[in-house]
Amino acid sequence: MSKKGSTGQLQAGVLCKNRKARNEYEVVDTLEAGVQLVGTEVKSLRNGGGNIRDAFARVEHGEVFLYGLHIAPYSHGNQFNHVSDRSRRLLLHKREILRLAGLTAQKGLTLIPLSLYLKNGRVKVELGVCRGKAKADKRQDLRERDADMEVKRAMSRRVERDL
């Protein structure tokens, strides 16, 4: 029997996460978008064949495209298998696309996928409007995280001692 909340495990429905993005970027805003995929891509994602570590999105000609999303070829896909590193269209409403175009026109803001997950049988991407962090900001986040861990450890030791 596996431990509850063990690290390295993804939540039910989450296909892949971009953990590096939260460290490298400051997330200003997030939104959910559908991803236009072919059948073998969905099957491969369900088998854990997705990687969004180097992915980014861009607004082009009134549409949003996701680049750098690697979906491994489906093992039973034969000659009808998909191209693993193609650009994929994101499905958004027109007003959402216009809002994203306005946000990304500002200097320093970019669209980064934070996670890829299933929702009602459809593949969705959590898209973050992000600003790059300076090295000092990353160090500050690391210090805060370490301080939080120390507090949790101290509290758990105190609870164990009281029992």
- Kindly state whether residues 84 and 108 are assigned to the same domain: yes
Is the domain of 57 the same as that of 117? yes
Residue 4 covered by a domain: no
Percent of the chain with pLDDT over 90: 19
Q: Is residue 2 scored above 50 in pLDDT?
A: no
CA-angle at 102, arms to 92 and 93, nearest 5°: 15
Total domains present in the chain: 2
31 and 109 in a single domain? The answer is: yes
Give CA separation, 158 vs 67, 70, 153, in Å.
48, 46, 9
Q: Is residue 116 scored above 60 in pLDDT?
A: yes
Residues 68 and 143 in one domain: no
What number is the average pLDDT over the span 98-114? 88
Q: Does some domain include residue 94?
A: yes
The pTM score is 0.72
Consecutive H or E run containing 29: strand 25-35
**Could you tell me the two tokens for 98?**
């216009």
Phi, psi of 94 (to 5 degrees): -55, -45
Check residue 162 and report its DSSP letter.
Answer: H
When pLDDT is cut at 50, 70 and 90, the band that residue 142 belongs to is confident
Angle at 90 between CA 85 and CA 93, to 5 degrees: 170
Assess whether 101 and 158 both reside in one domain: no
Q: What is the pLDDT of residues 9-45, one digit of tens each?
A: 555 678 888 888 888 888 888 999 999 888 888 888 8
Higher pLDDT, 78 or 116: 116
Instruction: Provide the CATH number for the domain around residue 42.
Output: 2.40.280.10
- Per-residue model confidence (pLDDT) at position 92: 92
User: Are 51 and 100 contained in the same domain?
Assistant: yes
Q: In terms of domains, do 122 and 142 share one?
A: no
* Residue range(s) defining the domain that contains residue 50: 14-132
Instruction: Tell me the C-alpha distance between 90 and 51, whole Å.
Output: 16
At residue 134, what are phi and psi to the nearest 5 degrees? -80, 160
Q: Are residues 70 and 115 in the same domain?
A: yes
32, 55 contact by CB (below 8 A): no
